[in-house]
Structure 1
Amino acid sequence: MSGIKPTLIDMFSGCGGLSRGFMDAGYEVLLGVDNEEIALKTFKENHGQAEVLKADLFDPETINEMKRIIGNKKVDLIVGGPPCQGFSLTGTRDADDKRNTLFRSMVEAAKVFEPQAFVLENVPGLATLYKGKAKDEIIQSFSNLGYTVNFEVLFAPDYGVPQIRKRIFFVGLKGSTKFAFPEPTHFPNEYVTCGDAISDLHDREDDLGQEIDVYLNDPKTDYQRRMREKTTVLYNHVGTRHTDLVKEVIAQVPEGGNHKDLPPGVGDSRKFNEAWTRYHRSKPSKTIDTGHRNHFHYEYNRVPTVRENARLQTFTDDFVVYGNKTQQYRQIGNAVPPLLGFHLANKIKTYLKVEQEV
């Protein structure tokens, strides 16, 4: 490819986990589109020269606005993760939820920009819910534009992500070639664990720290060294001040346990599936969610910091998250692990023809 970078647009970008993985694999990110301003600030600060557009992707005018920003640049790839509330196990699963049709804006963008490939990410439930209606429409819509579409559910720990997370990816290539998904890089006995990912970060039990801080410990694992190699400054590692009562409850949850391990009458205010879940240092974490009330550090009696969640999501430490704490947690929880994007990006690159524009 003679040093020329393939280009991409990220739709429903959020803070840009998926496209950050592509950027790390040598792609040029041209544009991030989302409707949340603070997520776009994070995106812009962490994606090189990329532009951002705050817009509603239900609005047909948005595609014209994207076109105006891109100008005459060629777009090799469109990536995106349309909101998944309608397909999610935790959502209302309403077949008529209009958010279920947001992927159509990616189809429209593919019509206009004619990229060589696209990547559409979502929750695995999309494949089967409503008798596979959305899955079939995604495949049909892109097939009508000349793409050969393949999909697969990827399990994040198989690709070096220290977190139990499953996501479905649709990859379409223009023409008759079918995309072959990357092979796993890790197997169950070698998964990256919570301890591998965050054991070098300061306990933050008494000293809550600051948004811009210093490392107090040296890295202990290859994973930690990789996370830290682009920065000497520690960002977003700020502890949470819990009440004594909350700390007492957390202290009674064994490593790897949850609310079911609490004595009768303790922690009764929260007794749903993920409540009072404590990570295990020798296993990947549970799926990072958008809140910060249900999961706890494997050793310390507190919720993970934004930086710890970012590590478990494979954001390198130079990736700075903006906004208040609630906004930061939401951005990280909504993101695709960049490392998953990185492995997809490297594989997709082998199918792309990238030419110098004259």
Structure 2
Amino acid sequence: MSENSTIAINQGVQNVSKLSVLEICAGAGGQALGLFNAGFESLLAVELDETAAQTLRQNSNGKVVVGDVADPKVWSPSEFEGVDLFAGGVPCPPFSIAGKQLGSSDERDLFAWAVEQVAVIKPRALLLENVRGLSAPRFSGYRQRVLDRLTQLGYVADWRLLYAADFGVPQLRPRFVLVALHPEDAAYFRWPEPQEREVTVGSSLRDLMGANGWPHLDDWVKLANGIGPTLVGGSKKHGGADLGPTRAKRAWEALGVDGKGVANEAPGKDAPHPSEKLPRLTIPMVARIQGWKDEYAWEFAGRKTSQYRQIGNAFPPPVAEAVGRSIRAALNHEGIPHEIPELSADVHDPVYRALANTDGFVKMARLIATLDELNHASVERRLAVLAQDFVLEEKSTSTGTAYRLGAFKGFTGQSDHSRNNYMENFRHRVS
């Protein structure tokens, strides 16, 4: 689906050969902007929140639709078969360390559903990003199922934990990123390398914090000489225009920032010294911390709390651009190809793999024998974790308990899944 196009974002117009991208859970456009800068043209962006969708509309010429991405009345995945890149930042709460980490039991979980759409859309590449929590041992079986499903569909997939601070963003912000490509393209894929220079909060915000002539700017910049903690956008149900939970606020305080709220403007000429009263960030400052640059001229729709939430939940544009450039290079077969195992991920959950590779019951003794690095207690712990995301059948035998891996509990598009009722009744709570 590659073609020559003229794409306009804000005031800039680029005449380049673009690859096509279909984006789900697009938010306010952090990923869309980064992928555009990496050479991708948006065919469609799907977003649940109307205000975030308005932000997308007023900053780009791409088509934007509003609604539940899994609702067939909103859009039809089959219409985009063969797109170059299928990308999305599916909801984070199911995996967030700050939440209950319900995974597939959380009605907001769309990760498995997104992977299932690969069978319909058949993209050349897949890019999905989420919070660091998805990389935890709690979700080892979930991750293994994702990799195995993509292998069934003919893709080579890999996960990587990327830190925004490694790509010129003055914020730690770890993101767990999944990339999958066909073998012939995967041989050319390499994860982007971190930049050598770190950007601090003080150096990044100096011009914005001093815009109103604050006389103590230099002292504040020295105090803010570090990388900020991860911005927390919150949700419609929880969180407002502040910089996150107590631990995050303390980290911001150590950098000279009052994280209890977001200011309407930078401190003025009469504002006290930061040793007396710490300044708060403004919306433009928060956007800068998240990786939006002035030259993007990106305008956020809605009121302050909504704008903050859109920015705080976004995939930083520089990180999306770096990953997008690596994917584009792979699809164009740039560089020297490498052996596919370099991209193939290690086995995330050997217990899941052992159970998934057989149709019958597997005895505990066999699991321990097959996985000689695990003992009885460790196998039982892994089985208990698996049972949170899969139906785990048990059968007593004369020589002990045997197990069989049943159905995945998560939503993959089933018409009778509990997520459908949840979205029908509580859609206003989801963000």
Q: Is the 8 A contact 2:103 2:139 kept in 1?
A: no
CA distance 1:104–1:169, shift in 2 (3 Å) = same
Residue 139 in 1 paired to residue 147 in 2?
Answer: yes
Q: Is the 8 A contact 2:241 2:304 kept in 1?
A: no
Q: Which residue does the alignment assign to 2:271?
A: none
Q: Which residue does the alignment assign to 2:27?
A: 14
Q: Trace 1:177-256 onto structure 2 (pairs within 5 A).
A: 177=186, 179-186=189-196, 190-203=197-210
TM value normalised by structure 1? 0.70
Q: Which residue does the alignment assign to 1:332?
A: 311
Amino acid at match of 2:97: L
Q: Which residue does the alignment assign to 1:301?
A: 278
- Deviation sequence 1:238-269 (CA, Å, 0-9, x none): xxxxxxxxxxxxxxxx979xxxxxxxxxxxxx
Shift of 1:286: 1.4
Q: 5+ unaligned residues in a row in structure 1: which ranges?
A: 208-215, 221-253, 257-278
Q: Which residue does the alignment assign to 1:114?
A: 122
Q: 5+ unaligned residues in a row in structure 2: which ranges?
A: 5-15, 234-239, 244-248, 258-273, 334-431
Shift of 1:83: 0.6
Equivalent of 1:166 in 174, 181, 187: 174
Q: Which residue does the alignment assign to 2:230?
A: 287
Q: Is the 8 A contact 1:124 1:166 kept in 2?
A: yes
SS in 1 for 2:312: helix
Q: Which residue does the alignment assign to 1:236?
A: none
Q: Trace 1:140-155 onto structure 2 (pairs within 5 A).
A: 140-155=148-163
Q: How far apart, CA to CA, are the structure 1 residues paired with 2:70 and 2:106?
A: 9
CA distance 1:331–1:163, shift in 2 (3 Å) = same
Specify which structure has the higher proportion of helix: 2
Q: Which residue does the alignment assign to 1:345?
A: 324
**How many residues were matched structurally?**
279
TM value normalised by structure 2? 0.59
Q: How far apart, CA to CA, are the structure 1 residues paired with 2:57 and 2:119?
A: 26
CA distance 1:63–1:181, shift in 2 (3 Å) = same
Q: Is the 8 A contact 1:19 1:79 kept in 2?
A: no
Residue 310 in 1 paired to residue 253 in 2?
Answer: no
| % same residue | 31
Amino acid at match of 1:150: D
Q: How far apart, CA to CA, are the structure 2 residues paired with 1:293 and 1:181?
A: 33
Q: Is the 8 A contact 1:195 1:281 kept in 2?
A: yes
Shift of 1:112: 2.3
CA distance 1:116–1:55, shift in 2 (3 Å) = same
CA distance 1:60–1:103, shift in 2 (3 Å) = farther
Q: How far apart, CA to CA, are the structure 2 residues paired with 1:6 and 1:95?
A: 33
Shift of 1:25: 1.9
- Deviation sequence 1:315-353 (CA, Å, 0-9, x none): 123011110111000000000110001111111111114
SS in 1 for 2:92: coil
Q: Is the 8 A contact 2:164 2:171 kept in 1?
A: yes
Shift of 1:111: 2.1
Q: Is the 8 A contact 2:83 2:121 kept in 1?
A: yes
Q: How far apart, CA to CA, are the structure 2 residues paired with 1:280 and 1:84?
A: 32
Q: How far apart, CA to CA, are the structure 2 residues paired with 1:61 and 1:143?
A: 29
Shift of 1:280: 4.5
Q: Is the 8 A contact 1:81 1:121 kept in 2?
A: yes
SS in 2 for 1:4: strand
Q: Which residue does the alignment assign to 1:276?
A: none
Shift of 1:302: 3.5
SS in 2 for 1:287: coil
Amino acid at match of 1:200: D
Residue 51 in 1 paired to residue 28 in 2?
Answer: no
SS in 2 for 1:5: strand
Alignment root-mean-square deviation, CA: 2.9
SS in 1 for 2:208: coil
Between stretches 93-102 and 135-144, larger displacement belongs to 93-102
CA distance 1:34–1:86, shift in 2 (3 Å) = same
Q: How far apart, CA to CA, are the structure 2 residues paired with 1:280 and 1:111?
A: 51
SS in 1 for 2:322: helix
Q: Is the 8 A contact 1:30 1:49 kept in 2?
A: no
Q: Which residue does the alignment assign to 2:13?
A: none
Q: How far apart, CA to CA, are the structure 2 residues paired with 1:302 and 1:33?
A: 36
Amino acid at match of 2:203: D
CA distance 1:341–1:280, shift in 2 (3 Å) = farther
SS in 1 for 2:331: coil
SS in 2 for 1:351: helix
Q: How far apart, CA to CA, are the structure 1 residues paired with 2:209 and 2:191?
A: 38
Q: Is the 8 A contact 2:66 2:74 kept in 1?
A: no
CA distance 1:310–1:96, shift in 2 (3 Å) = same
